[in-house]
Amino acid sequence: MQERQVLKCHHRNGALTAWSGPTNEDAAQLVTVSGFGHLRECMFSQLNNSLISAFVERWQPDTNTFHMPFGEMTITLHDVYFILGLPIDGMFVNTTSEKEDLVYTASELLGIDVDDLIASWPNGGPKLDTIRLCCSNRAAPAETQAGGYITYLLGSTLFIDKTGTNVKPLFIECFQDFESLPQYSWGSAALAYLFRQLGMASRAKCAQLGGCLTLLEVSLLC
């Protein structure tokens, strides 16, 4: 029963501006095949924090709906598909590996030293700047450039956490084959992640909100 301040709504427009994608043609083609190349252009450059905060106060984690005076409303997979253009059916995006295995998988794909990944993982995974510096090198293999950019892109659009600088690539196991990436239900994963972030933000004394907030704001405005 205490009024709280407007939430700090995390976005990473600075990161999206800092790296527009791999310059290597083969790597750029892999990004196109993955189906994520358009995400950078979908994100709002600014968010309406007051609007989002007002709706978070109406969020009910038990039902994943906003409780409004006229009834309940929520964000659907239909919204995700038409707003973000992501697949909403297909294989689940999840991870079954232990932390150590994920670290080695990420190290191999991103070309980042294992010790550096282990050191940064408690803070949310590798830093965005580290991924950009390691994977934007034209001398790096096309798979490393593409994998690094997609990881960077997903961590700056769909799976934004509250660290502000890091991305925890729990989805890294899906990168075994770039052509298979469109076969995963990324829309479902993005929506589930946003619902989880809304649930945490609805708790007392929580002052921040992560997730794909462009999806949230557009859904509210529509």
Residue 36 lies in a domain: yes
- CA atoms of 168 and 63, how far apart (whole Å): 27
- Is residue 1, in this structure, part of any structural domain at all? no
119: confidence class by pLDDT, cuts 50, 70, 90: confident
CA–CA separation, 9 and 142 (whole Å): 34
**DSSP secondary structure string for all residues of 175-200:** GG-GGGGGGB-HHHHHHHHHHHHHHH
Q: Does residue 2 fall inside a structural domain?
A: no
Q: For the ranges 31-35, 42-46, 117-121, 141-145, which has the lowest average pLDDT?
A: 117-121
50: its two tokens: 């007051």
Residue whose pair of structure tokens reads 């929506």 in the numeric block: 191
Confidence of residue 55 (pLDDT cuts 50, 70, 90): very high
In a domain, 201, yes or no: yes
Distance from C-alpha of 58 to C-alpha of 172, rounded to nearest angstrom: 34
Residue 1: what pLDDT?
A: 61
Report if residue 135 sits inside a domain. yes
Q: What DSSP designation does 91 have?
A: B
Task: List the structure tokens of 92.
Answer: 């689940």
Q: Do residues 163 and 126 touch, judged by C-beta distance below 8 A?
A: no
- Residue 117: what pLDDT? 83
pLDDT at 142 over 70: yes
Rounded to 5 degrees, φ, ψ at 150 are -65, -40
Range of the domain at 77: 8-221
| pTM greater than 0.85 (yes/no) | yes
Number of domains in the chain: 1
16 versus 116: which is more confidently predicted? 16
Whether 3 is in a domain gets the answer: no
Annotate 164-191 with b (16+ C-beta within 10 A) or e (fewer).
ebbbbbbbbbbbeebeebeebbbbbbbb
The residue-averaged pLDDT of 144-159 equals: 95
* Phi/psi at 100 (5° precision): -60, -40
Has residue 216 been placed in a domain? yes
Question: Is the residue at 128 inside a domain?
Answer: yes
pLDDT, mean over the chain: 91
